[in-house]
Amino acid sequence: MDLKRTGALLGLTALTAVGLAACSDDNTGSGDTAAQSVSGAECEGKPTLTASGSSAQNNAMTIFANSYALSCEGQTLNYNSNGSGAGVSEFTGGITDFGGSDSPLKEADYAAAEERCGSEAWNIPAVFGPIAVAYNLDGVELKLSGPTLAKIFNGEITTWNDPAIAEENEGVDLPDESITVIFRSDESGTTDNFQKYLDAASEGAWTQGAGKTFTGGVGEGARGNEGVSGAIGQTPGTITYTEWSYAKNQNLSMVKVITPADPEGVELNAETSGVTIDSARLENEGTNDLVIDTSSFYVPESAGAYPIILPTYEIVCSSYEDPETAAAVRSFLNIAVAEDVQAQLEDEGYIPVPDAFREQLLTAISEIS
- The answer to whether residues 356 and 3 touch, using CB atoms and an 8 Å cutoff, is yes
For the chain, the three-class secondary structure string (H helix, E strand, C coil) is: CCCCCCCCCCCCEECCCCCCCCECCCCCCHHHCEECCCCCCCCCCCCEEEEEECCCCHHHHHHHHHHHHHHCCCCEEEEECCCHHHHHHHHHCCCCCEEEECCCCCHHHHHHHHHHHCCCEEEEEEEEEEEEEEECCCCCCCEEEHHHHHHHHCCCCCECCCHHHHHHCCCCCCCCCECEEEEECCCCHHHHHHHHHHHHHCCCCCCCCCCCCCCCCCCEEECHHHHHHHHHHHCCCEEEEEEHHHHHHCCCEECEEEECCEEEEECCCHHHHHHHHCCCEECCCCCCCCCEECHHHHCCCCCCCCCCEEEEEEEEECCCCCHHHHHHHHHHHHHHCCHHHHCCHHHHCCECCCHHHHHHHHHHHHCCC
> Is residue 194 within 8 Å of residue 240, measured between CB atoms?
no
Query: Do the annotations mark residue 54 as ligand-binding?
Result: yes
Distance CA 218, CA 153 (A): 7
Q: Does 56 carry a binding-site annotation? A: yes
296 is in an annotated binding site: no
188 assigned binding-site residue: yes
| 189 is an annotated ligand-binding site residue | yes
Instruction: Pick the closest to residue 290 from 1, 87, 50, 89 (CA basis).
Output: 1
Q: Across the chain, which distance is largest between two alpha carbons, in Å?
A: 63
Q: Is 55 annotated as a binding residue?
A: yes
CB atoms within 10 A of CB 113: 24
84 is in an annotated binding site: yes
Binding residues: 54-56, 84, 102, 188-190
Binding residues for phosphate: 54-56, 84, 102, 188-190
